[in-house]
Structure 1
Amino acid sequence: MLPALIATPGRRPVPHRLDGAAAVLRAVLHRGSPARTEIIRETGLSAAAVSRHTAELLALGLVRQPPEPDQRPRPGRPRIPLDIDTSHHVVAGVHIAVPRLTFSLTDLRGRVIARERVPRLSRPSAVLHDVAARLPGFLRRYAVGHSVLGLGVVTGGWVDPDAGVLVENAALGWRDIPLRRLLQPVVRLPVHVESHARALAHAELLFGTIGGGDLVHLFVGNAVDAAIATGGGLLQGRGHGAGGVAHLPVPGSTAPCPCGRTGCLQVTVADGTLAQRAAAGGITARPDLRLLLRAAREGDGRAMELCRSRLRMVARAVRPVLDMISPDVLVLTEAATLHLPHLLPELSGELGGAGDLVRTGSFGADTLAVAAAAPVLAAVYQDPLGLRTAGSAR
């Protein structure tokens, strides 16, 4: 039986302040079955410290020593590689969007084991009751025999991860919802709460193919928000409000916003707004983003132009922010470019000199499932000795 870890669900990942065990775990994740000598070089830790932390991580089932292929013995100390152990622990998550909930289960490399989508109910209390009611069955179907390290709860808008509170999600019409306090006693798992832009930025830093450096992650859906990563950690801002781009002005837009202004980014380019335009223009039979994307994939010129116009409006709104931050890369998560990546140059071209820095996210169709689990995974890799296992699913 694996020993238990101490629960600290409110801890925030700050990668440049990693303790020894976390530094070793990150090195194993990023180096790909490194030997201990490589970990020593990567982390700057002493050989004794790496051995001690390796023993801790092995005992907790977070790393393993994969068997080496048969080969002729070499002189000197044998090379004993380490790898992330994906056989013991899993991470659960739920992404709360306007149309639906996405339940997910991932391993410690952020790979999706299972996902299920269900329609979202309207009131916050009904949604959280639905999450608590559905989660045990989901874990029984997919997590039997594994230890569940925690539940990630991810949604759009302004989220305070330390308090576990959704401060505001205008797309849902929710304010001041204490997600952790309401869910944790019911699901009996550590609950980690995060915005989807920051969750995906965490996932990119841990598991993505984008690379390091300063990164801006922009999420465009029914909610529109951003995350800023620098020095391997995420900028939080006052009240965890960094990345709030929903009310950036879109040049030329006159769309009325609930904030009292006109032309704000979220009301101008949100999925629901785009779907309404498609239906009003006769592109789709009803306002449904999936119908618009299907028409675009089938080559409907009007549908393609509507998708392109959204990307141009997004670029015009965020360009001043990007000029100020000068990130190494802008990662975009947005439905049209997820299915039609050849549309990305529409955004890049509008950004001018910054256009060659634009990338789509690393997770494709798994994006929301990975986002849901990312807060727990970020906590594991920030403080591997500070999370407790929740026991095997039954």
Structure 2
Amino acid sequence: MTSIARSRPAAPVPRPATRAGDDRREANAATVLRAVLDHGPVARSAVARLTGLSAAAVSRQVVDLLRLELLAERPELAVAVPGVRGRPQLPLEVDAERLAVAGLHVGLPYSTFALLDLRGRVLFRQELPHGGRRGSAALKALLARVPRLLAAAAAAPATAGRRVLGLGAVTGGAVDAERGVTVRHEPLGWHGVPLRELLERATGLPVRVDNHARALAAAEVLFGDPAARRSMVQLFVGHVVDASISVAGTVHQGPPSVTGDGGHLPVPGSTARCHCGRSGCLSVAASDDTLFDAAVAQGVIARPDRGLLLAAVRAGDVRADALVRARARVVGGALALLADVVNPDLLVLTETFAVADPVYLDVVREEFALRSHLHRDAALLVAQRFGADALAVAACAPVLGELYARPLLNH
């Protein structure tokens, strides 16, 4: 555990040898912590009913989780239960006051740095424009700025005095989460970047690295629609296009480091040239670059910029509306293909305009219903629930996901 104001040197910590009893204790602690996240404030007796654990097992886990500051008691909410002797049970909830996790989402025009509490709420967020930098120049700038942002967060009222448990770092493209390496991010010009090692050296924090579509899926499993814990496809559409899959609450990693490459789904009628050398790939047909360039070419906006196009849409510019609807139809067709192959309980879309205005999500749904051969109800398709905080939450999800899965080892 690391102070926000003063970090300790990061070093690889080998997982201790465990016995079956240790594994059970870890699993039980994760079960209790998850139940309190979902239902808190909640009494110990209710946690036992919800989890199927014995009252004694719940009490043992609660002692550890309170000691680790992952749970907090709420004595002001205690209520005596009629017919039950003894002191009222103190309700429990996930402690949102003393700890935080940090995250860095590395995008193309800008990156996002954030701090979240353990319930996934954003405490501090700042965008870091790349100023046109790519490759090693962008990386060098980030490595210099992130430690300064950690220090700035220490002075912010919402985060002062909190201990930071770790730093998540997510990017598009192929990411080897186990080795902490960005294997390939073509638009950014990153190949084989040891991101975990570099950020641990720069910040002194333990770092977890992942692909941003997988991180968004992990965040949805933690804090989103309960259907996400059964099965889900997450599609991210921005300057890059990435997809991820989760089943039974576990986000699929895929060998080697790639869940899949939804960016190369074919888009009928598209002639846009992809970096892979082919034409008509979703990664180009639906990308922000293609959308913004078209808006500039039609005189809708003066330069390729998400904020300018959003403003034009909100001002009622019919040309902007037509461009955004055209992309929504491309995305809807791609989601129909994904849904027909995977047949998930939930489809989650992260795309600027569908998140900002349900009108455009409806366009995606209409195209999805038209193209899907399974004829699934389009209501299974939703926009991600984090809104403007999506990239901040995704950035922190690798750390939060590990914390909730192994609260005793990852603390």
Same fold, judged at TM 0.5 (above): yes
Equivalent residue for 1:320, pick from 328, 337, 345: 337
Offset of residue 281 of structure 1: 1.6
Equivalent residue for 1:367, pick from 387, 390, 398: 390
Q: How does 1:70-219 map to 2 (within 5 A)?
A: 74-76=82-84, 77=86, 78-120=88-130, 122-143=133-154, 144-209=160-225, 211=227, 212-219=229-236
2:263 is paired with a residue whose SS is: coil
1:392 maps to none
Distance 2:278 2:26 in 1: 43
Counterparts in 2 of 1:307 and 1:332: CA distance versus 1, 3 Å? same
Q: Which amino acid aligns with 2:397?
A: A
| Matched-pair contact (CA < 8 Å) for 2:78–2:90 | no
Identity %: 48
2:21 maps to none
1:240 is paired with a residue whose SS is: coil
Q: Which amino acid aligns with 1:94?
A: L
Q: How many residues align?
A: 381
Structure number with higher relative contact order (C-alpha < 8 Å, ≥ 6 residues apart): 1
| Matched-pair contact (CA < 8 Å) for 1:8–1:386 | no
Query: Which deviates further from its counterpart, 88-97 or 352-361?
Result: 352-361
Distance 1:170 1:9 in 2: 33
Offset of residue 8 of structure 1: 5.9
2:243 maps to 226
1:154-179 Cα offsets, whole Å, 9 max, x none, are 11112111111111112212221111
Q: Which amino acid aligns with 1:364?
A: G
Unaligned runs of 5+ in 1: 11-16, 389-394
Distance 1:146 1:232 in 2: 29
Distance 1:106 1:232 in 2: 21
| Matched-pair contact (CA < 8 Å) for 1:8–1:387 | no
Counterparts in 2 of 1:376 and 1:295: CA distance versus 1, 3 Å? same
1:370 is paired with a residue whose SS is: helix
Offset of residue 73 of structure 1: 6.7
Offset of residue 124 of structure 1: 3.9
Offset of residue 20 of structure 1: 1.1
1:242 is paired with a residue whose SS is: coil
Counterparts in 2 of 1:36 and 1:97: CA distance versus 1, 3 Å? same
Equivalent residue for 1:53, pick from 36, 40, 61: 61
Offset of residue 18 of structure 1: 6.9
Distance 1:310 1:374 in 2: 28
| Matched-pair contact (CA < 8 Å) for 1:105–1:112 | yes
RMSD, matched Cα: 2.4
Q: Which amino acid aligns with 1:385?
A: L
Distance 1:372 1:188 in 2: 18
Distance 1:111 1:165 in 2: 27
Counterparts in 2 of 1:83 and 1:190: CA distance versus 1, 3 Å? same
| Matched-pair contact (CA < 8 Å) for 2:77–2:91 | no
Query: Which deviates further from its counterpart, 221-230 or 76-85?
Result: 76-85
Q: TM-score, normalised by structure 2?
A: 0.87
2:309 maps to 292
| Matched-pair contact (CA < 8 Å) for 2:109–2:130 | yes
Q: TM-score, normalised by structure 1?
A: 0.90
